[in-house]
Amino acid sequence: MKTIKIFFLVVLSGFCFSRLQAQQGVTRISIGYTAGFPTSKFKDFISDASFRGMDLRVLHGINDKLSVGFGTGFQDFYQKYPRQVYKLSDGSDVSAVISNSVQTVPLLARAQYSFTPGKRIQPFVGVGAGGNMVLYRQYLGEFEGSKNKFAFQAQPEAGFYIPFKPGGIAGISLSGYYNIIPFKYNNTGNLNSVGFTVGVAFPTGN
């Protein structure tokens, strides 16, 4: 309930700041809820989707179509596997419930290109590149093995921006993206995932 209240407050503040002007020279903040879906090798470690995530980005309009800025966020991946016997390299057999947990916190430089600025629906493409603080944990029963690493991340993206008012700067943003995070630890490979975000965007200042 608290989360919903915060969401509506953010939406309301978006309306307050909404203005009829082009995005050139305007700095816009967007806050979104995200869902992540592991792909490729990451799926072998955690196959469950993550519905615990958020996205925060600040973009400044270079011109009507192109914005640049930075973004961060958070995604929490987790999966518990039922008890099973695992053969270890030293010859021992271990019966354990395994819990895998990965949190990713990106810190990306971003660029976004809008195809139809000023229109009611504004499709865009974007790209982010930078680093990601990866918190990797694997539990055998209650016993933890962990690895924290600042990994490279690239993130191509495509989506739609729908202003609250025609030509407005505040609005709703919907997008899908692909996270490329090279990572190697134990038997775990790259932590690539598909993500979706829905959020609100609003300009900073007047």
> Near another protein by CB under 8 A, which window of 20-28, 58-66, 76-84, 163-171?
76-84
User: Per-residue string for binding with another protein, 106-145, x by CB under 8 A?
Assistant: -x----------------------xxxx-x-x-xxxxx--
Residue 6 within binding range of another protein, rule CB under 8 A = no
DSSP structure string for 20-70: BS-STT-EEEEEEEEEEEE-TTHHHH--S-B--EEEEEEEEESSSSEEEEE
Of residues 17, 74, 160, 178, which one binds another protein by CB under 8 A? 74
Other Cβ atoms less than 10 A from the Cβ of 92: the count is 8
Name the minimum Å distance from CB 76 to another protein.
Answer: 4
What's the rounded Cα separation, in Å, for the pair 86 and 107? 36
Within 22-61, the residues that bind another protein by CB under 8 A are 52, 54
Contact 180, 14 (CB under 8 A): no
Comparing CB distances to another protein, the nearer of 65 and 137 is 137
Residue 5 within binding range of another protein, rule CB under 8 A = no
> What is the four-CA torsion angle of 49, 29, 203, 18, rounded to 10 degrees?
20
- Any idea what DSSP says for residue 190? -
Name the minimum Å distance from CB 98 to another protein.
Answer: 10
β-strand partners of 61: 67
Applying CB under 8 A, the residues found at the interface with another protein are 52, 54, 72, 74, 76, 78, 80, 83, 85, 88, 90-97, 99, 101, 103, 105, 107, 130-133, 135, 137, 139-143, 148, 150
